[in-house]
Amino acid sequence: MFRPRYYQDEAVDSLFAYWEQEPGHALIDMATGTGKSGTAGMVDQRLVTGWPDLRILNCTHVEELVAGNYQELLGIWPFAPAGIFAASLGRRDRNAQILFGQVQTIWNKASEIGWVDVLKIDEVHLVPNDANTMYRVLINDLLAINPDMKIVGFSATLYRLDSGRLDEGDDRLFDKVVYEYGIRRGIDDGYLTPITSKRVETMIDISGVRTTKGDYAPGALAAAVKAQDKYGRIVEEVFDTEGHRKSALFFCPGIENAHTMAELVRAAGRTCEVISGKTPKNERRRLIEAFKRGDIWALSNDNVLSTGTNLPRADLLVDTYKTKSANRYAQRAGRLTRVIYPPGFDPERTDAAGRRDAIANGPKPDARYMDFVGNIYEHGPVDQIEPKRPGKGGGEAPVKLCPQCEEILHASVRVCTCCGHQFEFDTAPKVLATASDAPILSTEEPIWRQVTGRKFQRHEKVGGLPSVRVDYSLGLEIQKDWICPGHTGYPKQRADRYWINHGGQRPFPKNPDEFLARAGELAITTEVRLKKNGRYWNVDAWKAGSAPANDNVPVPANDNAERKRLRAMMDDIPF
């Protein structure tokens, strides 16, 4: 039985809350392995059960995702009115109310599919700006049929190589990221496997390789890697340091290099097969299933396994494929994060600490990313990537090595996540080429503190948007927190979560002034959870008490009343 996790409920609620306020195209950012397909299925079910006449098209680029997303919906909703339109799967259910399509099959068939109210795209980072590509032809043709069609994009990496973030730029397709759940939160919650990456001894030099379309030219990169002839040394280093790993993925530029790597792995006594863009589909399926069963120790590939394939056994990734694309780097690393809990363990019957403990004592306590080409130095730790904007400089990401265990870490980290070494910050770099605004990693456990008083006030920041400052009295101490209802992205999501957590009514406040004017709707805060951030503590969760006694606060609308209101305001469509 499908049981949604808290962040999946938050993601769906955030999408519908956005549509209540703005009729735009939305993005949902969820790390690999955290259940994007289940979240997408929850959206389908809520749309069709709430508005029975809506038509939905789910689109992606590989047949494994088409079939997987379809099966996920049926697991949530067994009798859903769903079908598949994908030649590779032998299905052409073009009239289904909830249709799952492969873009290679349906890109020029909008007229056959007909009216669509909501288009949902998985792995949306693959949608280019070029109007002549399959995705854009399909989107433009569907919009010609229904100009009010709404688009929802799902991905673990909401940025492209050629144009930065998907929600930025004058020619952007999407208007707003309505929810984010990243790798760091997934690891902290015990839903993802921790990744580690030590310094390696062997490095492949690609400094002379030319670039084209924003990344290294594939042929030139493959030739440079082959000419340096370092794969033998790399395999030796892999087995010297990580030979105990259960399953491995090798990423190589070009099919020839992938075969060379596989031959060397086999010569070292392990089973290894090659999957490339030229591998027949049936053979590809056979090899992937054999890898999942553990019959094959390693798969060597030319980057075709970076997306669309669920390989939870993989606990080692050997990367010899240099890329300027933060997207490709993050997608590869995401192959390692899927969890294998101990047999019989139910992750939903415990808390985050219990899940992390189960992972640490289970069959896959962590995973190793071995970087032989410098992708980490190019882009930074995978949970703290800030993609370069087009036209920006090519400086390295701010990373450093732990002197104790040689873990590769973000420059801002004060405590090594691997061994616990504490850094002295007197000599740390203050300004770096590609600063990241991602959360700082910490090994210290959060703590709950009782709140004895709370005060809201408007906060102005020079050069920034105003926010609501919250002062919590914790005995004799004051703990400050900032709620940002007028911001976008994660700060706005956090503000909305605070509002719901404390019993506030919808619609959510749009700015600090509205928040303060409606603060009487909020219940008291009984406890706050504090998480160490360097020398300071940040509030990262709250517990609310009983609702306030306020006769002027209207009774929250039930689902039926809300549906009638939306129908009246939005022509029977929830956006």
Please report, for the domain that includes residue 17, its CATH number: 3.40.50.300
Q: What does the block give as tokens for 251?
A: 């990423």
Q: What does the block give as tokens for 161?
A: 């190589």
The reply to whether 432 and 455 lie within a common domain is: no
73-130 tens-digit pLDDT? 999 999 999 999 999 899 999 999 999 999 999 999 999 999 999 999 998 988 877 7
**353: number of CA atoms within 13 Å, CB side?**
5
Q: Considering just the CA atoms, what is the radius of gyration of the chain in Å? A: 25
The reply to whether 204 and 288 lie within a common domain is: yes
Backbone angles phi, psi at 552, to 5 degrees: -80, -15
Assess if residue 67 is contained within a domain.
Answer: yes
The reply to whether 361 and 409 lie within a common domain is: no
Q: Which of 147, 181, 215 is the last residue of a domain?
A: 181
Q: How far is Cα 321 from Cα 334, in angstroms, rounded to an integer?
A: 15
Q: How far is Cα 22 from Cα 223, in angstroms, rounded to an integer?
A: 50
Assess if residue 190 is contained within a domain.
Answer: no
Q: Which of 351, 379, 407 is the last residue of a domain?
A: 379
Q: How far is Cα 279 from Cα 262, in angstroms, rounded to an integer?
A: 15
Contact in structure between 195 and 333 (CB atoms under 8 Å): yes
Residues in CB range of 469: below 8 A, 6 or more apart:
456, 457, 458, 459, 480, 481, 482
62-87 tens-digit pLDDT? 888 999 999 999 999 999 999 999 99
Q: CA distances (Å), 298 to each of 250, 266, 287, 302, in order? A: 7, 9, 10, 13
Q: How far is Cα 270 from Cα 302, in angstroms, rounded to an integer?
A: 19
DSSP state of 307: S
The reply to whether 414 and 504 lie within a common domain is: no
Contact in structure between 377 and 178 (CB atoms under 8 Å): no
Contact in structure between 444 and 457 (CB atoms under 8 Å): no
261 sits in which H/E element: helix 255-267
70 sits in which H/E element: helix 63-76
- The position carrying tokens 């394939």 is 309
Torsion 204-209-213-214 (CA) sign? positive
Residues in the chain with pLDDT values less than 70: 131, 160-164, 384-445, 476, 533-535, 547-575
Q: Which of 132, 150, 181 is the last residue of a domain?
A: 181
Residues in CB range of 10: below 8 A, 6 or more apart:
179, 493, 497
Angular region, 294: left φ>0, alpha ψ -120 to 50, beta rest: left
pLDDT for 311 equals 93
The reply to whether 118 and 131 lie within a common domain is: yes
The reply to whether 17 and 154 lie within a common domain is: yes
The reply to whether 15 and 155 lie within a common domain is: yes
Q: How far is Cα 44 from Cα 37, in angstroms, rounded to an integer?
A: 11
Backbone angles phi, psi at 374, to 5 degrees: 90, 25
Print the domain residue range for 417. 397-443
Nearest to 305 by CA among 276, 336, 272, 340: 276
Backbone angles phi, psi at 293, to 5 degrees: -75, -15
Assess if residue 501 is contained within a domain.
Answer: yes
Cβ density class 110-147: b for 16+ within 10 Å, e for less: beebeebbbbbbbbbbbbbeeeeebbbbbbeebeeebe
Assess if residue 573 is contained within a domain.
Answer: no
pLDDT for 379 equals 83
Assess if residue 77 is contained within a domain.
Answer: yes
Assess if residue 334 is contained within a domain.
Answer: yes
Cβ density class 95-105: b for 16+ within 10 Å, e for less: ebebbbbbbeb
Q: How far is Cα 511 from Cα 501, in angstroms, rounded to an integer?
A: 18
Q: How far is Cα 518 from Cα 449, in angstroms, rounded to an integer?
A: 26
Q: How far is Cα 235 from Cα 232, in angstroms, rounded to an integer?
A: 5
Give the distance from CA 457 to its chain's centroid: 34
Q: CA distances (Å), 356 to each of 272, 344, 345, in order? A: 31, 15, 12
Assess if residue 157 is contained within a domain.
Answer: yes
Contact in structure between 37 and 2 (CB atoms under 8 Å): no
Angular region, 316: left φ>0, alpha ψ -120 to 50, beta rest: beta
The reply to whether 343 and 372 lie within a common domain is: yes
Assess if residue 452 is contained within a domain.
Answer: yes
Domain count, the chain: 4
The reply to whether 525 and 487 lie within a common domain is: yes
The reply to whether 236 and 361 lie within a common domain is: yes
The reply to whether 65 and 156 lie within a common domain is: yes
Give the distance from CA 244 to its chain's centroid: 29
- Can you name the residues that pair with 184 across neighbouring β-strands? none
The reply to whether 243 and 296 lie within a common domain is: yes
